[in-house]
Amino acid sequence: MNLDPQIHRRLTAAGGFAELSLFQEAVQELEELPDNLKEIPVVLATWLEVYQLWQKWSEASSVALRLAEIEPEDSNWPVALAYATRRSRGLVFAREVLLEASEKFPDCAAIQFNLACYAAQLMHLDEARQHLHQAIQLDKEFATLAKTDPDLQPIRTEVEQDYDDP
């Protein structure tokens, strides 16, 4: 969808304001958009970005859920929903979001990696190892990330040994 330059400017401004922690200004930019554009994915994605940066996790969950409804084939939205759910409702609920998403997107490395993180934090270490291995099989970049992600601390020694650079 080609956006009017003025609309594009507002979305860019909203994102910029949010990055500067000027959340009221970001909201103002988004609220001034025409009503007929407020439910399009690019606008909702900007709202999601604002709420994430603002750490308004309940609102971020609602927007991510709406995006997942509008664009059900985009695996980014369940990941965003799980991220916000983790912070608003806890790891157990976030894990459920991703387990459901992993059935729909079995080849999404980001989902597998986040499942590994959540399992490690819940001390389901065998499950964490399994999901991490699958994530790295799907995308080798996750081997590097696994070495520094604090959620994987319970299996850090194994990660460093198993995925050491040659």
pLDDT at 139: 97
Q: CA 93 to CA 82: how far, in whole Å?
A: 8
- Residue 116 included in any domain: yes
pLDDT at 164: 65
**pLDDT tens digit sequence for 60-72:** 999 999 999 999 9
- Residue 141 included in any domain: yes
pLDDT at 159: 80
Indicate the Cα dihedral angle 154, 84, 102, 113, nearest 10°. Answer: -30
Counting DSSP H helices and E strands in the chain, the numbers are 10, 0
Q: What is the percent of the chain where pLDDT is above 70? A: 98
- Residue 85 included in any domain: no
- Residue 82 included in any domain: no
Spatial neighbors of 26 by CB under 8 A, at least 6 apart, are: 13, 14, 15, 17, 18, 50, 54
Judged against a pLDDT cut of 50, whether residue 59 lies above it is answered with yes
Strand, coil or helix: what is 112? helix
Domain count, the chain: 1
- Residue 112 included in any domain: yes
Q: CA 157 to CA 159: how far, in whole Å?
A: 5
pLDDT at 165: 54
pLDDT at 64: 98
Among the residue ranges 11-15, 145-149, 160-164, the one predicted with the least confidence is 160-164
pLDDT at 158: 84
Judged against a pLDDT cut of 80, whether residue 130 lies above it is answered with yes
Judged against a pLDDT cut of 60, whether residue 40 lies above it is answered with yes
For residues 85-90, average pLDDT? 96
Of residues 162 and 24, more confidently modeled:
24
Judged against a pLDDT cut of 90, whether residue 118 lies above it is answered with yes
**Domain span including residue 143:** 107-166
For residues 122-139, average pLDDT? 97
pLDDT at 15: 96
pLDDT at 4: 86
**Is residue 15 within 8 Å of 49, Cβ to Cβ?**
yes
- Residue 83 included in any domain: no
- Residue 98 included in any domain: no
- Residue 76 included in any domain: no
Taking all residues of the chain, what is their mean pLDDT, rounded to a whole number? 94
